[in-house]
Amino acid sequence: MIKFLKSSWIYLLAGALIFVYSFAKQGEGLSPKEFAKKIKETTNAQVVDVRTPEEFAGGYIADAKNIDWNNDNFDKKISNLDKDKPTFVYCQSGNRSGSAAKRMKEMGFTNVYELSGGIRAWRSADLPLQTVKKASGMNMSGYQQLLDDKRPVLVDIYAKWCSPCKKMAPFLDELTTSEASWLKIVRIDADKNIALADELKVTGLPTLYLYINGKEVWNYSGYISKAELLEQIKKHT
């Protein structure tokens, strides 16, 4: 009898652990290939693109609904979805989708999956996107022309919605003027130059590139302070 009770408790504990683990996995980010595979395997999957309509127009995952996380009516629109069906959420690089997924769970969504790295990671994995308009912007030839300068050239690939980008913008604008005698700074909007960002293999924002005589000598992805940035530039020049 004692052995039976012990065995029962072991099975119950194992079952509970499996349940908890499975529930926790629902909130974890999936790689682009895992995300695509999971959508394909899921019947009536709900795919939600939480970027702006402009970003969505540049390329979106098939069957995705565009519900802008930054729009005041996000809660109202997302409530129209079935909270009991698996829901797949993504944005441009992963930040907004994380916030959206958290909010959805608070609202009662039971199965929410996030795309790690967002659309940028999806593009880097060469996975297909639907488009509602042809992406335009600078090509590589035009980009190379920007690098043709005797001064070191710092390129900042950014986006208007990117929080670190917005935080860095004031001091980058300041440096563009104050250091113009020895440094050229070029800021390029990734959402308006999608093809170029893909060719440069940009997977996170902001991404900085430093060139000397047209040759890349340093690159960095993510937030960096003004002091740290100047230190890196001077170190490599």
Q: Is 91 a catalytic residue?
A: yes
Distances (CA, A) of 24 to 19, 82, 105, 212, 237: 9, 20, 12, 47, 47
Check 39, 91, 115, 119 and give the catalytic one. 91
> Please, what sign has the CA dihedral across residues 195, 196, 200, 202?
negative
Dist CA 98 CA 75 (whole Å): 15
Instruction: Check if the beta carbon of residue 112 is closer than 8 Å to that of residue 35.
Output: no
Element (H, E) at 123: helix 118-124
Q: What angle do CA 146, 172, 95 make, to 5 degrees?
A: 100
Residues with a known catalytic role: 91
